[in-house]
Structure 1
Amino acid sequence: MIAQDTRLGIGLMVAVTLVFSAQDAISRHLAGEYNVLMVVMVRYWFFAAFVIAVAARRPGGLRRAAATRQPWVQVARGLLLAAEVCVMVLAFVVLGLAATHAVFAAYPLLVAALSGPVLGERVGWRRWMAIAAGFVGIVIILQPGGAALQPAALIPLAAALGFALYSLLTRYAAREDSAAVSFFWTGTTGAVAMTAVGLWFWQPMAPADWGWMALLCCTGAFGHWLLIRAYEVAEASAIQPFAYLQLVWASGLGLLLFGETLSPTLVLGASIVVSAGLFTLWRTRKVADG
């Protein structure tokens, strides 16, 4: 049993947001030069290798990691996440890091809104009010003149919906399977699916970009390792609010590396979305604690 340390868990989650923000910036660079499906495919190859290596070192090895009573649920999870990653990377290229993450920040609100019809959970009026406020923030972000044009902003919104459904399926799968089993299926299913699609869009890469691709794969594996450690040492409800720091770091990288700008409507809308999301997380934890 690993000792619980909330302060360490928070520090690890902050590190996770930094590493994943760097991964997003590299993804934007590579997807701006090469086909998105190819970039995500190579990224998934390394991710699957990392997942298999982690599973092989655990008690029971690969056989235990692959043992599930609900393979179709696990396959659906893996496919949803792979599709969400592709849509998210496309959004980085079309909208930029800041605007994409501002819209994507709505995914906890979508999780709360869909938890009733998908999982049969009860959502009280306070959380419904927070969900409504969050979508007011999304409307503010989508206003003409903001950093995200209305049609293009549907791309990260689709990614947020995909990730919300993936999160709900993960919670559903957790009723029967361990986190290690779900993690194994996430990586392997995604790698198989992306290979089947991505190989058709293969493009020769410049030597320097292979270096960036290697760094992308390393940041992905390192970020997931940090995330696993964070959830091992602290409760998810205690550290999850700090995941919103990824919006801050990604926006900063967008400003510094890609010349992006933060319009007043984007900042205001993102602030409302994040505040609503934090309230939803707090309220969910309070209801769970009784």
Structure 2
Amino acid sequence: MIDTTRLGIMLMIATTFVFAGQDGISRHLAGEYNIFMVVMIRYWFFAAFVIAIAVRRTGGVREAARTSQPFVQAFRGALLALEIMVMVGAFVLLGLVEAHAIFTCYPLLVAALSGPVLGENVGWRRWTAIGIGFVGVLVILQPGYGVFSIYALVPLLAAFMFALYNLLTRYVAAKDRAATSFFWTGTVGAVLSTCIGVWFWEPMTSADWGWMALLCVTGVTGHFLLIKTYELAEASAVQPFAYLQLVFASAIGLTVFGETLSRNVVIGAGIVVCAGLFTLWRAKKVAES
């Protein structure tokens, strides 16, 4: 008998590896070409992927798009597209290591915002973990030492946007199927990124078109693996392994782009990850009680 939880964990690890590779390619392309154009082309393939999945399902595209909350779904899709643009910009400004170290706080933001957005009860233990996690963010940012870089706020903004996107995804899940949310995410994101990116088109070299094709393939592969992950295992079992994306992305930043790993980044990221793991564990305990 197949242990679906173990298989789900393996798929989540593979997913984080693929997404880390995608981030590395995004960093390269965004360093050479306009960020909006890079994200636009990436979304074209993403939209083609979700439409292809919808066509194969019963009811086709019309059924996949059916929702009683179109405005929330559209806002979700637009928010994720904008978040990706902001985060890719952070890769260029700060590098993969520091950008991911700061972005890792997004699960803490999810926990903090789940009260006002979803009306969930957040107990003192999780609030304490959230507070400790943001101490870790301050360790990474080092606002009291030297000249504070305003660029550090870019991945923090991306983390806030992604946290809100996650909460809205949970909100719409009460009425819509996952396939519907996935369809709106891809198509709305493609429309928005095209409306912005088409004004920033630049000619690309043949070699970089190859990297762009690989970026699109990794994007589709990563989302496919993520879908399969959540089909096999509960989110609470696999979500802690999502932090491995920080490890993989940092490895790419260090080996490929020659980035450095500061002591404050290691310590701060460790604090943030531990606080995030505690909030996941506490949320699971509360759900079981």
Report TM bin, short chain: over 0.9
CA distance in 2, matches of 1:112, 1:20: 23
Match of 2:86 in 1: 87
| Contact preservation (8 Å) 1:142, 1:149 | yes
Q: 3-state SS of the aligned residue for 1:176?
A: coil
CA distance in 2, matches of 1:237, 1:54: 26
Match of 2:73 in 1: 74
Match of 1:60 in 2: 59
Give the letter aligned to residue 178 of structure 1. Answer: R
Match of 1:8 in 2: 7
CA distance in 2, matches of 1:34, 1:139: 32
What's the CA shift for 1:4?
A: 7.0
Query: CA deviation digits over 1:34-65, x for unaligned, max 9?
Result: 00000000000000000101111122211110
Q: Identify if the C-alpha distance between structure 1 residues 175 and 234 changes in structure 2 by more than 3 Å, giving closer, same or farther.
A: same
What's the CA shift for 1:150?
A: 3.4
Give the letter aligned to residue 275 of structure 1. Answer: C
What's the CA shift for 1:168?
A: 0.6
Give the letter aligned to residue 124 of structure 1. Answer: G
Instruction: Within 5 Å, give how 1:1-290 maps onto structure 2.
Output: 5-143=4-142, 149-290=148-289
Q: 3-state SS of the aligned residue for 1:258?
A: coil
Give the letter aligned to residue 67 of structure 1. Answer: R
| Contact preservation (8 Å) 1:4, 1:233 | no
What's the CA shift for 1:149?
A: 4.8
Query: CA deviation digits over 1:149-184, x for unaligned, max 9?
Result: 531110000000000000011011001101000000
Query: CA deviation digits over 1:249-269, x for unaligned, max 9?
Result: 000000000000110000000
CA distance in 1, matches of 2:32, 2:133: 34
Give the letter aligned to residue 115 of structure 2. Answer: G
Moved segments of 4+, more than 4 Å: none
For structure 2, the 5+ residue unaligned runs are: none
Q: Structure 1 length as normaliser, TM-score?
A: 0.97
Give the letter aligned to residue 23 of structure 2. Answer: D
CA distance in 2, matches of 1:65, 1:238: 28
| Contact preservation (8 Å) 1:4, 1:234 | no
Give the letter aligned to residue 288 of structure 2. Answer: D
CA distance in 1, matches of 2:3, 2:59: 25
For structure 1, the 5+ residue unaligned runs are: none
CA distance in 1, matches of 2:133, 2:210: 39
Give the letter aligned to residue 42 of structure 2. Answer: R
Give the letter aligned to residue 82 of structure 1. Answer: A
The root-mean-square deviation of aligned C-alpha atoms, in Å, is: 1.5
| Contact preservation (8 Å) 1:44, 1:187 | yes
Instruction: State the percentage of identical aligned residues.
Output: 69
